[in-house]
């Protein structure tokens, strides 16, 4: 599919139970984290998926070294238990892929894995990132989402190599 096809379904998932952000480290270990914040659009003349990850997440440490990531959107109403688990437990303490019995497949480039059985999969190559600076944020967002000593999210830009629909 074209990267922007099914944008409504992506947003519906992000606004609902979430989607999986899947990252592989250099040693073949894979972690899945549930995300509700992401942006899809065009940067540097390329289709880009931007994900927002708090520095406290295990996923953040993995993304710092990763070749890329995939964003996997389950079919409507499916994998709710898995999304809840991957959105509340950390890969530091759990092998979430195993605990949820998620089946992985090779992505569109080395270092990318995705979750089998999802409706939409975005395969992304790491295209850099930037840490949000608290002083640049709207006071409402700062007060609502971040504690006084808490670092805001880091944005990671993923150049979309391939967008797939399995519906
Ligand atoms: C529906 C939902 C959406 C979430 N969205 C995000 C997000 O966009 N960014 C983020 O940093 N954490 C988000 N979280 C929290 C992480 O998924 C959660 O802290 C997770 O346990 C982190 O896993 P990790 O330590 O293995 O990376 C979300 C959680 C849920 C349940």
Instruction: Give the tens place of pLDDT for each residue, 101-122.
Output: 999 999 999 999 999 999 999 9
Q: What's the gap in Å between 6 CA and the centre of ligand 1?
A: 23
pLDDT number for residue 47: 98
pLDDT digits (tens, 9 = 90+) for 14-57: 999 999 999 999 889 999 999 999 999 999 999 999 999 999 99
pLDDT number for residue 85: 98
DSSP summary character for residue 153: P
Tell me the average pLDDT across 75-99. Answer: 98
Name the residue ranges covered by the structural domains of the chain.
7-127+156-165
Assign 166 a pLDDT band (cuts: 50, 70, 90): very high
Q: What's the gap in Å between 54 CA and the centre of ligand 1?
A: 8
Going edge to edge, which strands form the sheet with 120-131?
30-35, 19-24, 68-73, 120-131, 154-165, 46-53, 38-43
Least confident of 53-57, 69-73, 145-149: 145-149
Mean pLDDT of the chain: 97
Q: 122: helix, coil or strand?
A: strand
pLDDT number for residue 26: 85
What lines the ligand 1 site, CB under 6 Å? 18, 31, 33-37, 52-54, 57-59, 87-92
Ligand 1 atom 6, closest CA: 35
CATH class of the structural domain 7-127+156-165: mainly beta
- Measured from the Cα of 94, ligand 1's closest atom is 26
**What is the distance between the alpha carbons of residues 104 and 56, in angstroms, rounded to a whole number?**
25
Q: Residue 148 pLDDT > 90, yes or no?
A: no
Tell me the average pLDDT across 95-105. Answer: 98
Q: What's the gap in Å between 87 CA and the centre of ligand 1?
A: 5
- Measured from the Cα of 62, ligand 1's closest atom is 27
Q: pTM score, two decimals?
A: 0.98
Q: What's the gap in Å between 93 CA and the centre of ligand 1?
A: 14
Q: What's the gap in Å between 106 CA and the centre of ligand 1?
A: 23
Q: Residue 96 pLDDT > 90, yes or no?
A: yes
Q: Residue 69 pLDDT > 90, yes or no?
A: yes
**What is the distance between the alpha carbons of residues 88 and 94, in angstroms, rounded to a whole number?**
11
């Amino acid at each position: 599919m074209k990267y922007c096809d099914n944008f409504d379904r992506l947003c519906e998932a992000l606004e609902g139970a979430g989607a999986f952000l899947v990252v592989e480290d250099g040693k073949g270990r894979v972690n899945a984290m549930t995300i509700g914040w992401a942006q899809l659009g065009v940067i540097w003349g390329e289709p880009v998926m931007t994900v927002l990850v708090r520095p406290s997440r295990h996923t953040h440490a993995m993304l710092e070294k990763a070749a890329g990531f995939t964003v996997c959107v389950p079919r409507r109403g499916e994998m709710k238990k898995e999304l809840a688990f991957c959105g509340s437990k950390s890969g530091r303490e759990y092998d979430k892929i195993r605990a949820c019995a998620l089946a992985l497949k090779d992505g569109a480039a080395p270092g990318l894995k995705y979750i089998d059985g999802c409706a939409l999969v975005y395969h992304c190559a790491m295209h850099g990132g930037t840490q949000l600076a608290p002083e640049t944020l709207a006071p409402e967002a700062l007060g609502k989402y971040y504690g006084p000593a808490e670092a805001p999210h880091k944005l990671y830009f993923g150049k979309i190599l391939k967008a797939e629909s399995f519906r």
